Amino acid sequence: MAGKLAAFHAFRSTMNEKLLRKGNLQLKRFFNLDSQVYSDGALSSRTKELLGLVASAVLRCDDCITYHLIRCAEAGVTDEEFFETFNVILIVGGSITIPHLRRAVETLEEIRTQEEHTSNQNQRSGEKTGKQGKKAGRKARVQAWEKRRKEK
């Protein structure tokens, strides 16, 4: 499974770019609305991503499930929270969602493996300390956020 997330990101980014470049105003407006709806409001972005995960699974959209799994993990959703959410998916969507839940668990395992790998790399490299390290971390988070927004 080691390359599925990378392939997902690459394909999604490339195709979204093509859609937006060649698409019409309505398509661009939809992409913009889709990005805005997951922003913090009365509901937190984290909660909205979990809702998006449930809706995506009930609608049986594997690409959407992968996207929301990634966003939920970035928002700090724990495995326990994911599996409670999977329970909701199963109750709302019925047994037809089980194959999608299997793939969701497989994707979640890859996400956690990547997180662990990144954490181990950071520990080995002896991350920068002080203001430089904070600035570099902030810059990396901003770049990751900008990349996710472009993918939308």
Residue-range domain boundaries for the chain:
4-115
Query: How many Å apart are CA 135 and CA 46, to the nearest integer?
Result: 25
Burial class (CB in 10 A: 0-12, 13-18, 19+), 130: exposed
Provide the whole-model pTM. Answer: 0.77
Q: Which CATH class is domain 4-115?
A: mainly alpha
Percentage of the chain exceeding pLDDT 70: 82
pLDDT one-digit tens code per residue, 76-92: 999 999 999 999 999 99
What is the chain's alpha carbon radius of gyration, rounded to the nearest angstrom? Answer: 17
Better pLDDT: 122 or 106: 106
Query: How many Å apart are CA 6 and CA 4, to the nearest integer?
Result: 5
Q: What's the mean per-residue pLDDT of the chain?
A: 88
pLDDT score at 84: 98
pLDDT bucket at 1, cuts 50 / 70 / 90: very low
Query: How many Å apart are CA 120 and CA 71, to the nearest integer?
Result: 21
